[in-house]
Structure 1
Amino acid sequence: MNEAARRLVPIAKDQAEAQYREAPNNLEAEQALLGAILVNNDAFYRVSDFLKPVHLNEPLHRKIFEVAGDIIRMGKTANPVTIKTFLKADEKVGDMTVAQYLARLASEAVSIINAEDYGRAIYDLALRRSLITIGEDMVNIAYDAPLDMPPQSQIEDAERRLFELAETGRYDGGFQSFNDAVALAIDMAGQAFERDGSLSGVSTGIHSLDARMGGLQRSDLIVLAGRPGMGKTSLATNIAYNIAASYEGEVQADGSMKAKNGGVVGFYSLEMSSEQLATRIISEQTEVSSSKIRRGDISEHDFEKLVACSQHMQKVPLYIDQTGGISIAQLSARARRLKRQRGLDCLVVDYIQLMTGSGKSSDNRVQEITQITTGLKALGKELNVPIIALSQLSRQVESREDKRPQLSDLRESGSIEQDADVVLFVFREEYYVKNMEPRDEFDPKYEEWKMQFEKVKGTADVIIAKQRHGPTGTVKLAFQSEFTRFTDLADPSFTQYEH
């Protein structure tokens, strides 16, 4: 016997002796839970918020649980008699018919009190089976991966599947029944009714903007665009801080925290450092000019205000990532991690054009931007959070008489405009009027310029150019440039929307 054959003998022997490993499941727990539901339909509501038909291992049990759930949600009674008509009459369970099996489940039912414990046991075993599947896939792909598939992309895929499993108890995506979708829609309406300001989305902290948008809607991609100097980073920073500062958590039934108001915010600052961003927020909150803070040109009273503000800010759930040139894959992986570790209710990316695609460096920038916006849209849906993505506008705005931005001004615009659920433009006429100031104050046009400047001074327009689930139009805001702060206008006549 040659060496190779000798080495194979003990392995073959071990394999022959190895026992068959069955995927973890508990048939008795599934029978006990179904029996409890058939005897007392209230048992279904004890498990329906976390247990879905797919979590049961036995196909017939899945069907029974699904049919029972549909009947109970319609306000009818689910019992062996009402359920059997929805199951195959000729199907056998051992030597019993399905009708006999249902009657057996009900007759041997345990107390409804134990229903939740059985449900949890079934759910945990389903998670284990899913973990085994993901683990097996990881091993098989690692062995047979094609040359053009880098290990990093496999890690990102595994991380995504594990995140989905941790968040929803299943990773396969797939179809969702319309019943579930309707239930989610009703839940959203109920939450809006109870939440401060009666908003269906997360409040921006700017009331006139909330009134038009209903807050930031979960899973939406909100593109905030403008030319340099318009204040798009300032507006994004204001909104991010407002959301984080108004955060109120609420403990859920499973022990996790959920935002009742406000939320946990992740801020990807690809352009500015975290210190610069913090300086802007401190300036906005304390009304001490950011240029004075940087130069140290502040009084003792101002310094006390800064210290008091920083102590409050340390408790605010705003997390900043200042990695420059981050790829969409890295951004997604870090966002998933933040949601698992700290929670996440809103994501800000400043800005799209500073990101890179997850593929090889492409000569076609438009294609790369498409990959980025598609990735951001998919991430928003996966994490179920609104994503505010900032974007530059092309220079063609400057060459026009009317400097107000349009959708066609978005740089590499096709995919940005297409993937975005909401497109907001920040426009400050003050910026352009100020640059037109006549050099000679005795110029006859100077008074005319001064009147025009006073009219637009301290104001900004947020143009809602696209909104999937609401009207478009313009919202007038106040802008204090020294504090980089956007607020609602004090004069109520300004809060009327333009169309």
Structure 2
Amino acid sequence: MNEAPRRIAAAPKDPMEPAHREAPNNLEAEQALLGAILVNNDAYYRVSDFLKPVHFHEPLHRKIYEVAGDIIRMGKTAHPVTIKTFIPGDDKVGDLTIGQYMARLAGAAVTIINAEDYGRAIYDLALRRSLITIGEDMVNIAFDAPLDMPPQTQIEDAERRLFELAETGRYDGGFQSFNEAVALAIDMAGAAFERDGHLSGISTGIQTLDAKMGGLQRSDLIILAGRPGMGKTSLATNIAYNIAAAYEGEVQPDGSMKAKNGGVVGFYSLEMSSEQLATRIISEQTEVSSSKIRRGDITEHDFEKLVACSQMMQKVPLYIDQTGGISIAQLAARARRLKRQRGLDVLVVDYVQLMTGSKKAGENRVQEVTEITTGLKALGKELNVPIIALSQLSRQVESRDDKRPQLSDLRESGSIEQDADVVLFVFREEYYVKNAEPRDEFDPKYEEWKQQMDKVRGTADVIIAKQRHGPTGTVKLGFQAEFTRFSDLADPSFTQYEH
């Protein structure tokens, strides 16, 4: 760490006040808690869900708590005699050996009823020490003014560290033991069993898509791509609204809210205004054409439906940010803020090519898109939410006879394909068949065109071109263009198939 700035190092106003300030800690609380655990191992389970070894100020106490925890979780008894074999024998506390020190802790132990209070005190002091570290780093960096960290970058970095501290109680990251990872996997399976539809992820509201993907998985980057006119924004809007409308919150032991079904959705609309997005959703929900809504060409009955729909939509946790040309750093900062203030379960970005990177000197657009997709993947992991990022496809699709998109059609960067956990393509054959209509209805080919049009009318393919957790393949959906709505097909003859 850099040397403390002058204002911190300045002499105190009160000559009697010491110049050195010790980091907040309470060794007596640490000793009392460890003593309670050594006397009655049940005390450990009163604090183990929130108190980790790193929260102890004294390194020896940290080691004792860690070893005791490992022994207790194995179903054995943690006692001064069983613990001391796992701690270096040459360590001493004053004139006492480690064994004697632990025996004294156990001898002076308080009742385990107070264990949680002591644990909370230790945890709160650890948070304060972490806050001091972040604050000192902020001050020192601001004084040094390094060239590679302008003030805006420093603000975003401080905001990220504070968010991590608020979310997890620590900001050091580091390795996670495998048994913790296994416990998380089992918890996820249990949550899937209890959730509607038995999905491991968040339901999209479209059953055939959920069946193939298992819902939207947390921390995944889902790329939704297509040529203009295919309806990728419509599909993203449908999914976002379905998730927000299905939101059911559940109060956690710490007082926070967690989504039991559905979720809170953040939607970055870089292409359309929030009013245009809202018009699409209202059209989809009320079955009143969006073009009619814009022109005001509606009946009194239609208007009543619009008013009723808007009243229902006001309760839906869907938040829209319509800032154009937003950078990945700004997007991340706003997403963290939304998660802290309102909660966040799914993030939608429409679309990747309209975002900007940090624009370092000499960087081309491919490098910029690489930075954006890498940043989105990291943000999904940090916030533990799925991110649906829309992407354009290159024009080479139009020059082929088979217009079905492929992974190589993703524009500007191989990193989009590489960083994505799932790649979905929206393909509507109806769009291309409609454009191929013969001008003369007496043309011999007209009847053939009409038959083909009847076959593909009102349908869309969602091609799962890549999926880390499951199969690839194609899902057939219904698409009502006038309401910009995707839905499950009622006709059972349309089935999904894998490849």
TM-score (norm 2): 0.95
Shift of 1:101: 1.9
1:42 corresponds to which residue?
Answer: 42
Which residue number in structure 2 is paired with residue 412 of structure 1? 412
Partner residue in 2 for 1:5? none
Identity %: 89
Contact (CA 8 Å) 2:473, 2:496: kept in 1 or not?
no
Looking at structure 2, the residues matched to 56 and 359 of structure 1 have their Cα atoms a distance apart, in angstroms, of 42
Give yes or no for contact 2:423–2:467 (8 Å, CA) kept in 1: yes
Q: Distance in 2 between matches of 1:130 and 1:363?
A: 36
2:122 match? 122
The answer to whether the 8 Å contact 1:362/1:368 transfers is no
Distance 2:429 2:454 in 1: 11
Provide the C-alpha distance between the structure 1 equivalents of 2:21 and 2:320, rounded to a whole number of angstroms.
46
The answer as to whether partners of 2:265 and 2:345 remain within 8 angstroms in 1 is: yes
Shift of 1:39: 2.3
Distance across 2 between alignment mates of 1:175 and 1:58? 21
Paired residue type of 2:28? E
Structure 1: which 5+ residue stretches go unaligned? 1-9
Q: CA offset at residue 359 of structure 1?
A: 3.7
Contact 1:425 1:464 in 2 (8 A): yes
Q: Does 1:392 align with 2:386?
A: no
Residues 1:343 and 2:343 aligned together: yes
Task: Please report how far the alpha carbon of residue 179 of structure 1 lies from its aligned counterpart in structure 2 after TM superposition.
Answer: 2.4
Distance 1:373 1:387 in 2: 11
SS at match of 1:474: strand
Aligned residue identity for 2:173: G
2:452 is the counterpart of 1:448? no
Q: Contact between 2:282 and 2:306, CA under 8 Å: does it hold in 1?
A: yes
Cα shift at 1:149: 2.6
1:201-212 alignment, distance < 5 Å: 201-212=201-212
Instruction: Give the structure 1 partner of residue 179 of structure 2.
Output: 179
Deviation at 1:492, TM superposition (A): 2.3
Separation (CA, whole Å) in 1 of partners of 2:473 and 2:240: 23
Q: Matches of 2:470 and 2:47 in 1, distance apart?
A: 36
- What is aligned with 1:153? 153
Unaligned runs of 5+ in 2: 1-9
On the 8 A contact 1:201/1:218 being kept in 2, the answer is yes
- The one-letter code matched in structure 2 to 1:217 is Q
Return the letter of the residue paired with 1:300.
E
Describe the SS at the equivalent of 2:30: helix
Count of residue correspondences: 490
Whole-Å Cα distance in 2 between the matches of residues 11 and 107 of structure 1?
Answer: 44
Residues 58, 368 of structure 1: alpha-carbon distance in 2 compared, 3 angstrom cutoff: same
Using the TM superposition, give the Cα deviation of residue 341 of structure 1 relative to its aligned residue in structure 2, in angstroms.
Answer: 0.4
How far does the alpha carbon of each residue in 1:329-369 deviate from its partner, in whole angstroms, 9 at most, with x for none?
11000000000000000000000000000244765100100
The amino acid across from 2:284 in the alignment is: E
Q: For residue 7 of structure 2, what is the aligned residue in structure 1?
A: none
- Cα deviation for residue 13 of structure 1 reads 9.5
TM superposition shift of 1:374 = 0.7
Deviation by residue 1:460-480 (Cα, 9 ceiling, x = unmatched): 111111111111111111111
For 1:7-46, what aligned pairs fall within 5 Å after superposition? 11=11, 18-46=18-46
Q: 1:15 to 1:358 in 2, by over 3 A?
A: farther
Relative to structure 2, which stretch is displaced further, 103-112 or 359-368? 359-368
Moved more, 83-92 or 423-432: 83-92
How far is the alpha carbon of 1:148 from its aligned partner? 4.1
Determine the C-alpha separation between the residues in 2 that align with 1:441 and 1:138: 73
Q: Deviations over 1:228-250 (max 9, x none)?
A: 00000000000100111011111
1:298-317 matched pairs, under 5 angstroms: 298-317=298-317
Please give the alpha-carbon distance, in whole angstroms, between the structure 2 residues aligned to 1:112 and 1:11.
Answer: 44
Q: Distance in 1 between matches of 2:78 and 2:473?
A: 51
Q: What is the match of residue 4 of structure 1? A: none
Q: Distance in 2 between the 1:111 and 1:12 partners?
A: 42
Asked whether the 8 Å contact 2:11–2:19 carries over to 1, the reply is no
Q: Root-mean-square deviation (CA), in Å?
A: 1.6
Query: Does 2:223 correspond to 1:250?
Result: no
1:235 alignment partner in structure 2: 235
Shift of 1:300: 1.0
Name which of structure 1's ranges 396-405 and 198-207 shifts more when overlaid on structure 2: 198-207
Question: In 1, Cα distance between the equivalents of 2:41 and 2:293?
Answer: 64
What is the CA–CA distance in structure 2 between the aligned matches of 1:192 and 1:40, rounded to whole Å? 36
What is the CA deviation profile of residues 13-34 of structure 1, one whole-angstrom value per residue up to 9, with x for unaligned ones? 9789634211001111111112
Q: How does 1:43-62 map to 2 (within 5 A)?
A: 43-62=43-62
DSSP 3-state at the match of 2:497: coil
Deviation >6 Å, runs of 4+? 12-16
Answer yes or no: is 1:490 the counterpart of 2:490. yes
Q: Name the TM-score, length of structure 1 as normaliser.
A: 0.95
More moved, 136-145 vs 262-271? 136-145
Q: Which residue of 2 aligns with 1:276?
A: 276
Report the more deviating stretch, 269-278 or 211-220: 211-220
Amino acid at match of 2:158: A
